[in-house]
Amino acid sequence: MSFSEWLHEPWPWYVAGPLIGLIVPLLLIIGNKPFGISSSLRHICAACLPSGIPYFKYNWKHESWNLFFVAGIIIGGAITALWFNNPKPILLNPILVGQFQQQGITNFRGLLPPQLFNWNNLFSAQGFLLVVVGGFLVGFGTRYAGGCTSGHSIMGLSNLQWPSLVATACFMAGGFVTANLIIPIILKW
């Protein structure tokens, strides 16, 4: 494998996982910040649409580091897509590939299945559920739970907080039910 090919390869879990874990001490040492991304959505509400709601009355500027952090994530995504993009289809479990092919998903290139996530499909029940309802549940659920995968499952568990373990177990339970029972129905439509 040439060097340029190697740059485009996806990273195995044992490389990427520990590096993601190091974001926790990195943010603490840079400036005492707890790792957590979903609160950025609350800051965006507090900055743009506070609408007199008490939940959004706080000094969001004090938390604006978080908005710089998510802006960085967008830039990081763009850098990877431009220069280190993996051109090959994603290597999935062949059982899953078989199951998806039976349901009409045949394109495994890219991060999102282009047959489901496209502008035309957005106005069908399928696309509406995956994009709009899904997104709504991400925003509503993370704030109700007080954190997401980064805030609870990584930061909270790193600090040995048992409520974060409860939250993580519920994230997984919700995901198991949806991925195994609800998504197969949505894909049939």
Partner 1 sequence: MKTNELIERPSKEFNNDFEVQSLDEGYIQHSAQDHFPQQKLPYLFAGVLFGILLVKSEVISWFRIQEMFRLQSFHMYGILGSAVIVGIISVWMIKKFDIKTIRGESIQLFPKKFNKGQIYGGLLFGCGWALTGACPGPLFAQIGTGAFIVIITLYSAIAGTWLYGLIRHKLPH
**Given the complex with partner 1, which of 2 and 143 has the nearer CB atom?**
143
* CA 83/CA 101 separation, integer angstroms: 30
Single residue of 2, 18, 188, 189 touching partner 1 by CB under 8 A: 18
For residue 146, the minimal CB distance to partner 1 (Å) is: 5
Q: How far is CA 180 from CA 46, 81, 99, 187, in A?
A: 36, 30, 12, 11
Provide CB contacts within 8 A for 15, sequence distance 6+. none
**Given the complex with partner 1, which of 18 and 87 has the nearer CB atom?**
18
Single residue of 5, 6, 29, 185 touching partner 1 by CB under 8 A: 29
For residue 152, the minimal CB distance to partner 1 (Å) is: 8
Residues 34-63 interacting with partner 1 (rule: CB under 8 A): 34, 36-45, 49, 51, 53-59, 61-63
Amino acid at 132: V
E strand or H helix that includes residue 3: helix 3-8
For residue 102, the minimal CB distance to partner 1 (Å) is: 14
Binding of residue 93 to partner 1 (CB under 8 A): yes
**Given the complex with partner 1, which of 63 and 188 has the nearer CB atom?**
63
Return the DSSP state at 116: T
Half-sphere exposure for 165 (CA within 13 Å, toward CB):
6
* CA 140/CA 41 separation, integer angstroms: 10
**Given the complex with partner 1, which of 11 and 102 has the nearer CB atom?**
11
**Given the complex with partner 1, which of 1 and 95 has the nearer CB atom?**
95
Query: Are the beta carbons of 117 and 127 closer than 8 angstroms?
Result: yes
* Stretch 117-156: interaction string toward partner 1, x if CB under 8 A: xxx--x------xxxxxxxxxxxxxxxxxxxxxxxxxxxx
Q: Which residues of 14-33 are buried (b: 16+ CB within 10 A; e: fewer)?
A: eeeeeeeeeebeebeeeeee
For residue 116, the minimal CB distance to partner 1 (Å) is: 8
